[in-house]
A and B are shown apart, each in its own frame.
Chain A
Amino acid sequence: MSDDSNLILYDDGPIRHIRFNRPERLNAIDLMQHDRVISALQEANTNTAVRVVVFSGEGRAYCAGDDLKAGPNSESPEWYKNRHQVDLDIGVGPLLLQKVTTVIRDMNKPTVVLMHGYGLGAGYDYATSCDFRVSTEGCIFGDPRIKRAMWSAEGWSYKTPRLIPQTHITNTTFTGDALTGEEAYRIGLVHKLYPNDRDLRESANEFLLDLTQLDPERYRWTKKKLHSDRDLRYLDSLNNYPR
């Protein structure tokens, strides 16, 4: 489907797979990859044949993080440069990552991430923006950026305390210590846990098929309401009818 080999797009019936394909870099994500993902998601969102969108990675890992060799001056999408004339000393990376994670979060159909090997940095941001997280038992999962005296502005600090109890946030994100799939499952950050030695697309197949059976319109509406009600007062939430 895609002529760009860095990101493989294919359909397995109603399941749309978005597969990172830079195995030699453990699927580290650079700015152009974010842009490819945004285009792929925008297409999938309006394609009624697609009932669930699934992220995964080719090779030894789902995603080892941001491509550190891609600095502030590295190649970035033309449309993005034109839109953001302000020359940030941090480059356009953070804004672009905010954009892509917001597009994932706002998808009107179920989104799932299948994580094996590593799910770090930008891969973690993608994962926490999906509706469902599926992992192998041994997958190394987390956000180690603070260990390099960096921090990230991509919305994890909003999302993760709402996904799991805040206690667990300090244990992981404040120290930058990675979790294994098993630990992430224990604290509720991962929904489904499968053995290491099997392709997650097979292990999770039944779960993915279940998701394709859900009514698209009810799913879209409930997800949107869940997201917006989270920050409303109770009485306001009763009157909240998302479009």
Chain B
Amino acid sequence: MTAVRPKTGATLLGLNTRKVTVMSTDHMIKSVIESNILRLSFSAPHSGNHLTYGAMISIRDLFLAAEQNPDVRAIVIAGEGPDFSLGQSDDLADEEWPIEYAKNKTQGSHGVASFVQQDMLTAIRNIAKPTVAKLQGKVYGLALDIACVCDFRIADEQVEFKDDRVARAEIADTGITHVLPRLIGQSQAVRVLLLGEMIEGSEAYRIGLIHRLYSDGELDNAVSALLTILATMATRSYGLVKQQVLEELDMSYDVALMHSMAIRQTNVIEDRIEGSRAFIEKREPDYKGI
């Protein structure tokens, strides 16, 4: 079961309006919890929000902590400045390896970069809570990976996606070769992953890479509205639905049915009582996320 929630007035009324700044271990990652929403942002716009090892580890740890924190009921990742992020730092090869990886992970000729990236992306993908990527400007390389493991990708019209790792004679060993063909179909995925084609806003919407597209100035409000909906949903139901979809991607039909039934029986969601009651009383439910 989840941790015991403090019975303050705010929590009993639903949304927790307390604003809590969560410690990030890296100066370019900002994080704050407000109204049950963890807002995580890249704050190095002068350098294109390039992601360093420190930033990746910080994101990983914030997601792992958010999974355990009942105050967090939705998460948004955004980039400050004109661009979401240009991806991993060009200087990564020169950066010192993070101590935990340098000690514990196998070191192939490619170093530890893929492990740091994979651990961050796995933490984002697997969290049993709603995740939103708020996208504008350039979303390149590793930033595209991050967007693709979020549940929702919401963008403004100026957005441009590109994965030029092959064009630069690099490889993408981040799991995107598993994720992207399932998100948009293999036909479209090869344009992105093999050709390194630039995909702009309306085209990204057409091929299903993003869920919604907004014209200039509307993005902030649209994302806030979506986050409010997500943060007031029955969080544990959401988590189970997400778990079902992601895990059953790798299962056969028969096994998937068993899997669905198994997680159905082993979980008791308290919000279900409120859900049925609200339905009978013909009103909006007031879920606690437990």
Residues of A within 8 A of B (CB): 68, 88-90, 94-95, 98, 102, 105, 146-155, 157-158, 161, 165-171, 173-175, 187, 227, 231
Contacts and interface: CB of A to CB of B under 8 A. Distances in A.
A150 B234 CA distance: 9
A155 B256 contact: yes
B151 A166 contact: no
A157 B261 contact: no
Contact of B182 (A90, A95, A165): A165
B241 A174 contact: yes
Contacts of A174: 130, 151, 238, 241-242
B234 to A, nearest CB: 3
Given A170-B211, A175-B230, A148 B261 contact: no
Contacts of A147: 233, 275, 285
Contacts of A98: 257, 260-261
B240 to A, nearest CB: 5
Given A68-B279, A148-B285, 8 more contacts: A95-B261, A149-B269, A149-B271, A149-B285, A167-B184, A167-B209, A174-B238, A231-B251
Contact of B248 (A105, A158, A168): A158
The contact size tier of chain B is: 35 or more
Contact of B183 (A102, A155, A167, A227): A167
A157 B256 CA distance: 8
Interface in B269-284: 269, 271-272, 274-276, 278-279
Contacts of A94: 261, 264
A187 B208 contact: yes
Interface in B170-193: 182-185
- Tell which of A155, A168, A227 has the most Cβ of chain B within 10 Å: A155
Given A153-B264, A171-B211, A146 B248 contact: no
B237 interface: yes
A24 B55 CA distance: 58
30 contacts: A68-B279, A98-B257, A98-B261, A146-B237, A147-B233, A148-B275, A148-B278, A149-B269, A149-B271, A149-B275, A149-B287, A151-B240, A153-B244, A155-B257, A155-B260, A157-B245, A157-B248, A157-B260, A158-B248, A158-B260, A161-B248, A166-B249, A169-B245, A171-B152, A174-B238, A175-B229, A175-B230, A187-B208, A231-B252, A231-B253
A149 B240 CA distance: 10
B208 A157 contact: no
Contacts of A161: 182, 245, 248-249
Per CB-CB distance, the 10 closest pairs between chain A and chain B, nearest first, are A149-B234, A149-B275, A153-B260, A158-B256, A148-B275, A157-B244, A149-B271, A153-B264, A167-B208, A231-B252
